[in-house]
Amino acid sequence: MQYHHKEIEAKWQKYWAENKTFKAENHSTKPKYYVLDMFPYPSGAGLHVGHPLGYIASDIFSRFKRLKGFNVLHPMGYDSFGLPAEQYAIQTGQHPAITTAVNIEGGTDKQGNKIEGYERQLKKIGLAYDWDREIRTSDPSYYKWTQWIFIQLFNSYYDNDLNQARSIDELINVFEQIGNAKVNASCDEDTPTFSAEEWNQFSEKQQQEILLKYRLTFLAEAEVNWCAALGTVLANDEVVNGVSERGGYPVVRKKMTQWMMRITAFADRLLTGLDKIDWPTPIKDAQTNWIGKSKGASIQFDVQNSDAKIEVFTTRPDTVFGVSYVTLAPEHPLVEKIVTEDRREAVTAYVEQTSKRSERERMADVSKITGEFTGAYAIHPFTGQEVPIWIGDYVLSGYGTGAVMAVPAGDERDYKFAKHFDLPIIHIFKDKDLSEAAFVEKEGFELQNSDVLKGLGYQEATDKIIALLEEKGIGKGKVNFRLRDAVFSRQRYWGEPVPAYYKDGVPYMISAAHLPLVLPEVDEYLPTETGEPPLGRAKKWAWDTSKNEVVSNDLIDNETVFPLELNTMPGWAGSSWYFLRYMDPNNYDQFASKEALDYWKEVDLYMGGSEHATGHLLYARFWQKFLFDRGWAPTDEFAQKLINQGMILGMSAFAHRINGTNQFVSANLKDQYETTPIHVDVSLLVDGDELDTEKFKAWREDFADAEFILEEDGRFMTSREVEKMSKSKYNVVNPDDICEQYGADTLRLYEMFLGPIEQAKPWNTQGLSGVSGFLKKLWRLYHSGEGETFFLSDEEATKEEMKVLHQTIKKVDEDIHNFSFNTSVSNFMIAVNELTKLNCNKRAVLEPLAVLISPYAPHIAEELWEAAGHKESIATAEFPEFDAKWLVEDAKEYPVSFNGKMRFKLELPMDLTKEQIQEAVMSDERTIKQLNGKTPKNIIIVPGKIINIVG
């Protein structure tokens, strides 16, 4: 009986769907386990074989936990808001909701492109998801609750004394009673101090403007990455080398009024919380560095002939007497105010030039030294001396105060800047050589040229100068964080509408009872002619506070009808809490019930890419801590264990075009010419590296008249190179093609077999045949009956057969717990080979073996399980128990040596005493022959190890 993977896989995928085999219950006597994949953005390109790597690994683990008796939640959904769908909508005029649905469900788009559909592709791989819990972030029933969380953030503040988020109503009550002088809360730096009497006399607008300075989501003018071509603000991780990651469009730094999230209030908890979770060290390090906690002092410098003051934060206040200049970030708000007229043109040009570089690019570029003198001077707070004020792009507005007190003697960047612009270097470190570099150590030095700090070391000088700063009222000791408040506005259409309307220029929230605020229809998805976001095109986008509904813009009277917010939320909004919605996805009245939240609590295993380290993974931790503080989430960390799967790399193919021609030369001959490599679609290759030249000519119009210099045997060979698998590199392999030719079980096993889950590994389609052959061999093991029919014997298994089984049970259990899926696959191959040699057909061995392999190759396992007479899915079986007795050796094959030289081997029971072993070896005919009548001088016996006869 042949193994027909197509019929078998279709049969069981249908069975799982109809029987809801993997449906999770929110109430169970079993222990719970929550396995989650980072949900995908559904692009029209669909899946390539690199995408399912993490999905297959998490699927194996979730199936394994079911077999171990757990109630497993393993859901899937789609991060379906975002810029790609909007860009496609702009190009085609098709609503993003339509293209998003087609990308998920499959079909044909407006351009006539056949789209496979993510969901169909995922189901074809046999992933054990509870599809009843599917969510899409662009579904109003989902983003209703994203908007609800936004409103709760708006209606909350951060109490620094209690170290938690609290209701804004509590703060208002404090203001009414005693004002804000004694309030210790996270707020804007320019928040005024007021009494209760003053608060109560403020107008409604004034009160709301003050509350905005405390709210956890608030409006503020911020430096943002503005991409004019995309018409939106981009997050730092969406900008690469000064251009947008998507499309490669220019990005500039620009000040705009934006919705912000006060993530900085949670900075210390986000840092200390990393100690409580089992996440990869590189992820923790990335978040630690991004948060950037540092201790030091803030110091105030007056500006000469001005009321302006420059506040700097420094981790080295002990070096304050080494300050020879002050450097501001080019975008610092004081630059425009203090620059002298003779320096204005140069400074303005430099500021504009810097705006085209991202913060990441500026931080990374340590070799290039640029800057401009503002013409202004600061006054040293202790010496009273004039200190020139410069601007330089090595100072970032997003870190500290956007200003640094430059100490060339003690900081490498300050030193290089001073050397480049011939600025003074004050030697404050006794007996240290500053001729080639700054002295940056915090120990092993004594200060000189430092007034009251002369002769002191780092700690003593730091303590003394901070005390002096606070005594003089010109600074204080301070803990600083590199982390900045997160920009939460996007000037685009395809995102969650912000549930805010504007009354007298101040934002108010729509009541949660009237959510969701649904995206309006617009005629185009581009910004308006006056530069407003796409929602500015909506004709019906105003809020009627008397009717609590969206009405026509024509009705705006600023009395009962007000304009709605035109910005939408960023891509990370919906992904910052989706793991909670999966716990209770169909709840209309709450984002999830308390019962469901208390039952599932948190994600036990989270699988996804490391590229989200300082984006999604940080924002999600922030939202979780907020929801925990306000009593809406049961834990303050959302995922206990995180695994970052590696990348499957593609094997790209290149045809080498002779420069200046449309002539291509075979790879083995390319060194004879000056050529440029051109990516070739790997589907055009035959027999490995050979290019089908006729298909190549038909592939692209510009290659239609291509000519080819062939090998002597008439073939045209491409060169190959391992790269990231990408549609743009034409090295993508469609998993559907693999499932069609080899089967989903082959794909699953092969992806795990490639190597450790965390490592990157190259894809090689030729390796599939070996895994396919293994599955056929497994199939034959169960079909040893007459005419290759299915047959299991109820005879007792031999010791050798049971040994193979229990070795496999032990190894697979250990491997899955250690996420060493590749070694499990190797062990399955070894086990099947050994059982085949033993002609094993015993039910006692082959039934447990099917259960062991079912997490990896579920379709074939289900078929074999059913053939063995079981009525229920193999997913409901129990994982076989390991019994160590089958691995205990009851006999030992001893090497028998004479005067240290091994002459023969003798198998003896392991439980024999030393005397019994000696009796057995001395009575053996081979011993008698070796001794030839002689009496040995000594007989050395170590039970279980050696026998040596001497003399």
Look at residues 753, 733, 736 and name the one whose alpha carbon lies nearest to residue 744.
Answer: 736
List phi, psi (to 5°) of 476: -165, 160
In this structure, are residues 164 and 158 in contact, taking their beta carbons and an 8 Å threshold? yes
Cα dist from 444 to 241, 435, 453, whole Å: 39, 18, 15
Q: Give the integer Cα–Cα distance in Å for 825 and 753.
A: 6
Q: How far apart are CA 423 and CA 406, in angstroms?
A: 10
Going from the C-alpha of 66 to that of each of 11, 541, 585, 651, the distances in angstroms are 21, 49, 21, 36
Contacts of 243 (CB under 8 A, 6+ apart): 249, 250, 251
Burial 142-155 (b: 16+ CB within 10 A, else e): bbbbbbbbbbbbbb
Per the document, the length of the chain is 951
The gap from C-alpha 584 to its chain's centroid, in whole angstroms, comes to 24
Name the amino acid, one letter, at 472. Answer: K
Question: What are the Cα distances from residue 257, in Å, to 218, 380, 543, 826?
Answer: 10, 34, 21, 58
User: Taking a C-beta distance cutoff of 8 angstroms, is the pair 653, 720 a contact?
Assistant: yes
Largest CA distance in the chain: 122
The residue type found at 219 is L
Q: How far apart are CA 498 and CA 149, in angstroms?
A: 11
Tell me how many degrees the CA angle 760-761-766 measures, rounded to the nearest 5. 160
Unique residue bearing structure tokens 């949670």: 266
d(CA 311, CA 302) in angstroms, rounded, equals: 9
Which of 470, 485, 457, 483 minimizes the C-alpha distance to 297? 470
Distance CA 325, CA 671 (A): 56
CA–CA separation, 110 and 63 (whole Å): 39
CB contact set of 600 (below 8 Å; sequence gap of 6+):
26, 32, 34, 73, 583
User: What residues does 543 pair with on adjacent strands?
Assistant: 550, 562
Strands (E), 272-370: 293-303, 309-314, 325-328
60 touches 820 (CB < 8 A): no
Residue type, 808: T
Nearest Cα neighbor of 777 from 823, 820, 840 is 840
* Token reading at 707: 């000519």
Cβ–Cβ under 8 Å, residues 714 and 662: no
Closest CA to 587 of 145, 37, 27, 22: 145
* 430 appears as a binding residue in the annotation: no
Rounded to 10°, the helix 858-867/744-753 angle is 130
What is the distance of C-alpha 809 from the center of its chain? 33
Q: What is the CA radius of gyration of the chain?
A: 35
Binding residues for ATP: 727
- Residues at the annotated binding site? 727
